[in-house]
Amino acid sequence: MTQHIVNISGGKDSTACYLLALERGKPFRAVMADTGNEHPETIAYAKSLGQLTGGPDVEIYRADFTERMAKKRTYIAAHWPAEGIPQAVVDRAVAVLHPTGVPFLDLCLWKGRFPSRRAQFCTEFLKADVINTQVIDAARRAGPVIQWLGVRRAESIARRHSPMWQTIRTPRLHPMRFYRPLIHWSAGNVFSYAASCGVDPNPLYLQGMGRVGCFPCINSSKFELRAMANRFPEAFNKIAEWEAVCALTSKRGVGTFFAADVTPEGAAMARRIKQIEDREARNSASAAAPWPNAHVVAEWARTDRGGKQFNFLIDQSDDGLSCSSQYGLCE
Ligand code: SF4
């Protein structure tokens, strides 16, 4: 029998997907990957859906980096000294590389860096892999699967050509189909549909957030960061703590959550350093540069100054840029 699995992010689109699955009356499972970087309200909201609607409880899964971190400790101890990395740096990295219980932080410690727009490995390791390895693979061994995804074409440029149906075939597993029932919906359709079902949106939408999910997300716009800095300064304190720990596992001793050139000062610094021809001098300048940390970004977000405002203007419409995942794993 075909198994229906609805992916939940805690955002409006996946909630509408859940409600639609409920309305269509087919038995289904609802699953969510908790990155450890969501606002507690988002996890609480997802967990409340079952009780609110009489539907299935949302099953929450988390990535575990214990084994990968152990291997990385062994690798660092064996290889970094041969690369000329000072023993104190090696010892520091090995001492810090232990699971913290927060998947997002553990991923960054293991990688020795934070994800970025160009290297958005967070979606893969914290969401897609988690759901695939802990839910989907086992389900596909038992029978065909339809994964419901709350993806809308209007929500981002990356998703504008997303198909409603997509079939995935893998040797030795039953076929899986991605189903994007909201593909032609607008954000307004989504909110009014949930309202017609008597379900309020995640409360974070009423507190200035255009999207919910990681809090903050590496793709958060200046508009969202400003709302976050004003209402939830603790989110930036958390990230600043992670930056301090993550820097200890980096060869260069640096680690910033946000893109280095997100602020005007960071962008100017990046341009200056890029012009240094000698590689070693460039690396040293980069290691010594005061890249904008979470507190600096929070301050900048409160200002009207420029910087890299990926989606500051269009974020308030339904056509904003967002996470480029086609699978609706990050809202
Ligand atoms: S919500 Fe943002 S930070 Fe979180 S996994 Fe997705 S892209 Fe990465």
For residue 79, is it within any domain? no
Nearest CA to ligand 1 atom 3: 217
> Which of 183, 210, 237 represents a domain boundary (last residue)?
210
Check residue 206 and give its pLDDT: 86
Check residue 310 and give its pLDDT: 44
Mean pLDDT of 234-260: 93
| Residue from 13, 43, 127, 159 whose mutation best tests the ligand 1 pocket (most atoms within 8 A of CB) | 127
316 pLDDT more than 80? no
Q: How far is the CA of 6 from the centre of ligand 1 (A)?
A: 19
Query: Does residue 217 line the site of ligand 1, with CB under 6 A?
Result: yes
- Let me know whether 165 and 255 are in one domain: no
319 pLDDT more than 80? no
Q: Which atom of ligand 1 is nearest to the CA of 126?
A: 5
> Which of 162, 179, 210 represents a domain boundary (last residue)?
210
How big, in percent rounded to 5, are the helix, strand and coil portions of the chain? 50, 10, 45
Check residue 113 and give its pLDDT: 94
- Let me know whether 187 and 304 are in one domain: no
- Let me know whether 259 and 135 are in one domain: no
The number of distinct structural domains making up the chain is: 2
Q: Which atom of ligand 1 is nearest to the CA of 220?
A: 2
For residue 311, is it within any domain? yes
Query: Does residue 216 line the site of ligand 1, with CB under 6 A?
Result: no
pLDDT band at 280, cuts 50/70/90? confident
Choose the weakest-confidence range: 25-34, 96-105, 233-242, 283-292. 283-292
For residue 97, is it within any domain? no
- Let me know whether 184 and 311 are in one domain: no
For residue 169, is it within any domain? yes
Check residue 260 and give its pLDDT: 86
Q: How far is the CA of 87 from the centre of ligand 1 (A)?
A: 34
Q: How far is the CA of 79 from the centre of ligand 1 (A)?
A: 31
Instruction: Residue 171: give the domain boundaries.
Output: 3-63+121-210
pLDDT 10s digits, 161-206: 999 999 999 999 999 999 999 999 999 999 999 999 999 999 998 8
126 pLDDT more than 70? yes
Q: Give the C-alpha separation, 9 to 306, whole Å.
A: 31
Mean pLDDT of 259-272: 90
Q: Which atom of ligand 1 is nearest to the CA of 115?
A: 8
Say if CB 96 and CB 28 are below 8 A apart.
Answer: no
Q: Give the C-alpha separation, 197 to 213, whole Å.
A: 22
- Let me know whether 287 and 202 are in one domain: no
Query: Does residue 116 line the site of ligand 1, with CB under 6 A?
Result: no
For residue 80, is it within any domain? no
- Let me know whether 39 and 146 are in one domain: yes
For residue 85, is it within any domain? no
pLDDT band at 307, cuts 50/70/90? low
- Let me know whether 44 and 160 are in one domain: yes
> Which of 180, 210, 240 represents a domain boundary (last residue)?
210
Nearest CA to ligand 1 atom 2: 217
- Let me know whether 52 and 143 are in one domain: yes
- Let me know whether 255 and 197 are in one domain: no
pLDDT 10s digits, 53-91: 999 999 999 999 999 999 999 999 999 999 999 999 999
Q: pTM, whole model, 2 decimals?
A: 0.89
Query: Does residue 218 line the site of ligand 1, with CB under 6 A?
Result: yes
- Let me know whether 233 and 299 are in one domain: yes
For residue 189, is it within any domain? yes
- Let me know whether 303 and 194 are in one domain: no
Say if CB 326 and CB 159 are below 8 A apart.
Answer: yes
- Let me know whether 195 and 226 are in one domain: no
How far are the Cα atoms of 49, 112, 117, 283, 286 from residue 279, in angstroms, in the given order? 53, 20, 24, 6, 10
